Amino acid sequence: MSPRSALTGLVTLGAYGAFAATFRGPRDRFWPRMTRTGASLGLAALLLEPSLAGKRPRAREVALGGAIAGGLYGAFQVGDRIARRVLPGGGEEIADIYRLGELRPHLELALRLALVVGPAEELFWRGLLQRSLQRRLGPLRAAAAAGLLYGGAHLVTGNRTLIAAATVAGVSWSGLAAAGVPMTSLVVSHSLWDVWIFLVQPTQRPAHEQAGGLPG
């Protein structure tokens, strides 16, 4: 194992610890912790995999990223309905995820997700970790491992619906990366998907809208 691979492994262990601190810490400070975690992982990716730096998406890469985000959103609409029917307490687990969106103003959260959290997660899990694994495991096994490791980082939440959603999303993005989708398109898709499913058009309306009878 090369020194860079070993360091990537150590940083990945640190990422698991950071996710635990983010999700297990005081709930009202979730977003500042999530933003710091994202920024730290993104910086680690850029330092350990310098080829990731300086990439700007072209128009077709933005369009591809938007199409990927739309496809994932459609899949998660179906997954949301399945989770509510199959998993005991699935509806409450989904509601608990969306309650995080009520902790801060939506514009602030959109900026955190689009500019820090979404890009940083792609740079780290696909850009750094998956590329490191690919040098030893090959593209398909590396994609599977990276996607499962991303989902595994959410085990600390104890939220089965979130763990399943993160695993599905992680395996999907990792599979696309293995298929040759540009990192810029993956970053765009992750950022758009985060903002859309969490703030713009969630699969479940916020509690205050449900109570007021507003259209979803």
Digit-coded pLDDT (tens) for 83-105: 667 666 667 877 888 888 888 99
Average pLDDT over residues 65-87: 81
How many domains are contained in the chain? 1
CB atoms within 10 A of CB 52: 20
Average pLDDT over residues 59-86: 84
Residue 149 vs residues 126, 187, 190: alpha-carbon distances, Å = 11, 18, 17
Between residues 18 and 91, which one has the greater pLDDT?
Answer: 18
What tens digit of pLDDT does each residue of 95-135 get? Answer: 888 888 888 999 999 999 999 999 999 999 999 999 999 99
Q: Which structural domain, as residue segments, surrounds residue 131?
A: 3-51+60-212
Task: State the greatest distance between any 2 C-alpha atoms of the chain, in Å, as a whole number.
Answer: 58
Angle, helices 59-86/160-178, rounded to nearest 10 degrees: 150
The pLDDT, as a whole number, for residue 121 is: 96
To 5 degrees, how large is the angle CA 167–CA 74–CA 20?
25
The model's pTM is 0.87
The pLDDT, as a whole number, for residue 160 is: 86
